[in-house]
Amino acid sequence: MKTDTIFSQFFREFPRFFFEVIGRKEAPVDAYEFVAPEIKQRSFRLDGLFATQEGFEEEPLYFLEAQFYKEEGFIARLFASIFLYFEQYNPPNPNWMAIVIYGRRSYEVEPPERYSALVERHLLRIYLDELEDDPKESFGVAIAKLIVERKTRSVAKAKELIGRAKRELPAAAVQQQMIEFIAAIVIYKFSKLSREEIEAMLELSEFKQTRVYQEAHAEGRLEGLEQGLARGVKQGIKQGIEQGIEQGELNAKLNMIPLLQELGLSLEQIASRLGLQLETVREAARNQSN
């Protein structure tokens, strides 16, 4: 499983944390949809793109690339892919930014001088190894750092984040989804250990007996996510969650609608994600808000 796959899945599931990581908390999260467009001529797929919803075209596009090794010509390939995307998809947005998240600064290859105009105006680089430890840092930044944390420190850091999730995330289903995602990151790092061993390391066995977990699980909000994460260990978190959701029962899908709304997804995105008719999602959202 590639580290950039985990980053893509994290920002797909928790889009507001992307804007925290890049220092733009004021950005209208509801205006965006996370996609991974394929560039046909080169058979290349961008790690991610926050494309705007209809009616928000004045907001910038955000192209996301996570880079965890040194690659000559990376910036040239990135800009070339972005301009091919513009040619193929012709988005209406006048502004755009390329966000590159490096695991460490040493992975960066300084771009040629000919790209200086693009770099100065359209490139934002984030170096995870240089982000300072701060107890008050955003959840998004903390999760991003956990993904690249050394194995020797990752379990302790994961337990800290699980504690934060219990304290800071009020909705039971959102809290449980975040804890499951943290566990999935640790599973990725310790691929030779079983899920049960990881849960024991993170002291999750007792948490599964709590009322918070039992209520969220009983309502079916976790069914698709749990099936997806089980497959994600072997096939990649992104593919696994999508398959898990697709195989969930209709009732579980409907019960996931409030969760996805809390995560900042629009009704159109929810309908697309769950494979439901938009009117079905709208009706369910109305009923659950009453």
Contacts of 76 (CB under 8 A, 6+ apart): 111, 112, 115
Of the pLDDT bands very low, low, confident and very high (cuts 50, 70, 90), residue 251 is low
Q: Which amino acid is at 138?
A: S
Nearest CA among 225, 208, 289, 189 for reference residue 9: 225
pLDDT in tens, 133-175: 666 677 888 888 888 888 889 999 999 999 998 888 877 778 8
pLDDT of 119 strictly over 70: yes
Sign, CA dihedral 269-273-274-276, equals positive
pLDDT computed for residue 4 by the predictor: 67
Greatest Cα pair distance in the chain = 59
- Report CA-CA distances (Å) from 168 to 50, 91, 161, 262: 26, 37, 10, 14
**What share of the chain in percent tops pLDDT 90?**
29
Q: Could you tell me the pTM of the whole model?
A: 0.63
pLDDT computed for residue 232 by the predictor: 44
Angle of CA points 236, 237, 243, to nearest 5°: 95
Under DSSP, the state recorded for 67 is: E
pLDDT-wise least confident of 82-96, 170-184, 230-244, 253-267? 230-244
Domain range list for the chain? 1-140
pLDDT computed for residue 86 by the predictor: 93
pLDDT-wise least confident of 107-111, 189-193, 212-216, 262-266? 212-216
Q: How far apart are the first and last CA of the chain?
A: 42
- Cα separation, 193 vs 197, in Å, equals 6
pLDDT in tens, 38-59: 766 555 678 899 999 999 999 9
Hey, how many other C-beta atoms are within 10 angstroms of the C-beta on 274?
A: 22
pLDDT in tens, 199-244: 888 888 665 655 555 555 554 444 555 454 444 434 443 443 344 4
pLDDT computed for residue 63 by the predictor: 95
pLDDT computed for residue 109 by the predictor: 94
**What share of the chain in percent tops pLDDT 70?**
74
Hey, how many other C-beta atoms are within 10 angstroms of the C-beta on 72?
A: 8
Angle of CA points 3, 222, 141, to nearest 5°: 40
- Cα separation, 17 vs 139, in Å, equals 7
Nearest CA among 20, 16, 95, 17 for reference residue 63: 95
- Cα separation, 73 vs 17, in Å, equals 29
Of the pLDDT bands very low, low, confident and very high (cuts 50, 70, 90), residue 187 is confident
pLDDT of 191 strictly over 50: yes
- Cα separation, 163 vs 109, in Å, equals 37
Highest mean pLDDT out of 73-87, 227-241, 264-278: 73-87
Q: Which amino acid is at 262?
A: E
Hey, how many other C-beta atoms are within 10 angstroms of the C-beta on 26?
A: 6
Both tokens of 123, joined, read: 């490139």
Contact between residue 208 and residue 222 where contact means Cβ atoms under 8 Å apart: no
Question: Between residues 224 and 131, which one has the greater pLDDT?
Answer: 131
pLDDT of 95 strictly over 50: yes
pLDDT computed for residue 250 by the predictor: 65
Helix boundaries (H) for 14-150: 15-21, 74-89, 116-122, 139-147
